[in-house]
Chains A and B, each alone.
Chain A
Amino acid sequence: MRFTVELELEKDRISKDKNRIILSLFKKAFSFYDKKYYKELYESKENKMKDFTFSLYMGSCTFLREEILIPEKKISLNFSTYNNKDGIMFYNSFLALKSKKINIQNNTITVKRINMVREKYITSNEVIFKTLSPIVVREHYGDNSKTWFHSLKDKKGQEVFKNNLKYQLEKELGKEALVDIKNIEFTPANTMKMVKVKNYGIEIHSNIGKIKIKAKPYILDCLYKSGASSLKSSGFGMLEIV
């Protein structure tokens, strides 16, 4: 399920660490609508993987040193999930928040319209995706001290990406899908590039652009709906079909 939610800002500036703001909004919405569900998502297990992803569209914005300037004072929040329950909960939670003024950091956000986006139906074994939010290719070891962020354009990065997908898809689709997951192939476009995104105070190197992925349609469908690779439920890896 895919939704677009129009958010209205009181002031035209928000922090560059924008995903953090949106995550607070998510948490406010979910805990307001259903505490149990909120706890399931954010308190039961640390870093619980979620079947959803999101991205932001900020119109003609300007990136300043510490902030983003949004003259229209509007953000479109795109939300996508592979899991119908999350879809229903997202919709219900944001509907419950609609027209309420939410104070986050030094701004006030109001949820305006909620729209459902018609999803595309994948039947082929090959799809070209475009990133709606950057793909994070993260390699990290047990303790958080050693974390590397890779480019999809080098070999090491591609290997890590594949592992990230394997980890994610096995959780989402179950062990039955393992054989098909192993057979995933992908080709990043030449135009793909690295960007730095501020996330919870640190700079994350991530990838934007187009990527061609070959896999069974149900795997592609899962990536399309739930996002790809690391940190997707924090606003990374949301894909659109080109």
Chain B
Amino acid sequence: MIKRRAGRTGQYLALVGYLVFLGFPLLWLVSTAFKPPRELATLHPTWWPKHPTLDNFRQAFDEQPLLHAALNSLLVALSSAVIAVLLATPMAYVMARHRSRLSRAATGWVVVSQAFPFVLVIIPLFLILKRLHLINALPGLVMVYVVWTLPFALWMLTGYVRAVPRELEEAAAVDGAGRLRTLVSITAPLLAPGIVATGLFAFITAWNEFFFALVLLKTPEKQTMPIILTHFIGAEGVADLGPLAAAALLATLPSLLLFALIQRRIAGGMVAGAVKG
């Protein structure tokens, strides 16, 4: 009994330790974003702003083209998510339903594509996109993001298709429904939540992406949020902390909100992929 209670206490201590480790950086980011300059430029920073202010947010918008960057990010993330899902869904269906050589090769490619360093892909892509005059252009970045999110989209969607009972499709076939009809009226509705989750995941991935955007987008009016954020850090690594924190907070909100909606589904999809892949 005593031993058991000690075990419980230990568990709670571990949990609190974890919450502190996980929570404090987040708390500090939020706190910094709302601090007036005088509370930031001190050797003894306060844990929480004594005089909270929105000035940092205003200043962030003044210093960098944040709104424009957010629009660029939105445009790029939305187009890549929609295109990636449209391309991936049919193939994922085939991979889940037909155990052919193709689906095995595709699964192998999904694993391999996780392993190669981006630098090996970005140099040729840079040269190709340059020839197509798509450097410093959002469509070029969308192309890269679509292909970059495809492996994971296929991975997740294949799991979702497997979760749709094959018997339902067979029953429809017995009832005389054609292949297309079965897909549209039986499979698609059951698959819809998975497709939405995959799309949102692709959106978040593109919204957060940094490396490809850094290489491909040259001028501030084309750059996406993550790149603009780094402009708040000066050349010598000196930063205006308040606006930096405020902008960073703003950049996180969209993906955080979307992620909260779908995180359960993603965890399931990842495990399904890991176990069955």
The answer to whether A and B assemble together is no
B residues lining the A interface (CB < 8 Å): none
